[in-house]
Amino acid sequence: MTVVPGEKVDETVSLTAHDAYDLEQADQDCCERVVINVSGLRFETQLKTLAQFPNTLLGDPRKRMRFFDPLRNEYFFDRNRPCFDAILYYYQSGGRLRRPVNIPVDIFMEEIKFYELGDDVIENFKEDEGFIKEEERPLPDNEYQRQIWLLFEYPDSSGPARGIAIVSVLVILISIVIFCLETLPEFREENRHTESHFATNGTHHIKPNPFTDPFFIVETLCIIWFSFELMPMHDVHNKVCAKKNNSSRRSSSAISKSEYMEIEEDMNNSIDNLRDANLRTGNCTVANQNCVNKNKLLTDV
């Protein structure tokens, strides 16, 4: 295209053919419609609507491509149809999710996880539905103590943690069985360990040694295991209590300082006012009494 010097050139005309093609292609991609078939019910929306949430199943082209049907030129999902109305509205509204009234909570939760809307969406949905949020239990700051705590309190954290959980269950079962067996007459101590010795002057009984009793040994081992399990919990509990006490001390100290400043300011104002009044009346008793009271308050703080 030839441009005459001094002639005004329209900016839209001065665009190259390549730039115009890119703009047209971008506009087509932005407004391109996509068909989503959910168990026979077809939905249509624009790609830019789905692209608002690129980390989700429908928003990521690579994730949703495995559900694409090239023969019908549509995406097919063998999922719950009423739930998809709410899922599609999530994209159209920019992030608002509302469960249909006729859909159970567990089914709708599965659909949210399938379409990969994210953990934040799941947490917000649970909060809207009235689920009680689980409180996060604090972990020790020390790395060694944290690993011990994970081993005994979080069986899903590792393989050794699962093994310790299994051993803990077995120890509990063994302790229950031992407790029940000791109540049976044939397993009682006097019947198992009493030996009769016949002598010329009669029969006498030998007192058994409790440390050689199998039940005593097993019970002792179970108690040792239970005590070992309580040690990490006790340590973390003490640390948490110490942190809470420190924070409460800091807050109470801050309150005391603020009260001190208020009392001191009030005292200065009172002294100034009473000094002026005493100069006029010649009475110093009231001023002295108020000064004593204010000084006592400051001393108590």
- Digit-coded pLDDT (tens) for 15-57: 454 454 453 454 445 568 899 999 999 999 999 999 999 999 9
Higher-confidence residue: 101 or 273?
Answer: 101
Q: What is the pLDDT of residue 6?
A: 47
Provide the domain limits for residue 158. Answer: 143-196+210-253
Q: What value does the mean pLDDT take over residues 162-176?
A: 89
Task: Report the predicted TM-score, pTM, of the whole model to 2 decimal places.
Answer: 0.43
Q: Residue 81 maps to which CATH number?
A: 3.30.710.10
Residue 191, domain CATH: 1.20.120
How many structural domains does the chain have? 2
139 versus 279: which is more confidently predicted?
A: 139
Q: Please indicate, yes or no, if residue 17 is contained in any of the structural domains.
A: no
The per-residue pLDDT of the chain, averaged, comes to: 72
The reply to whether 40 and 73 lie within a common domain is yes
**Mean per-residue pLDDT, 66-70:** 92
| Angle of helix 119-129 versus helix 105-114 axis, rounded to 10 | 170
The string of pLDDT tens digits covering residues 104-155 is 989 999 999 999 998 898 888 888 888 776 666 666 677 777 787 777 777 8
Determine the Cα–Cα distance for residues 160 and 151; give it in Å rounded to an integer: 7
**CA separation for the pair 235, 150 (Å, rounded):** 13
Amino acid identity, position 42 = R
Give the SS3 label for residue 119.
helix
Quick one: pLDDT at residue 27? 45
Greater confidence, 276 or 62?
Answer: 62
Instruction: Compare 60 and 202 and report the one with higher pLDDT.
Output: 60
CA distance to 182, 237, 265, 267, 288, per residue, from 297 (Å): 67, 37, 12, 10, 15
Contact 281, 269 (CB under 8 A): no
Domain match, 178 and 91 both: no
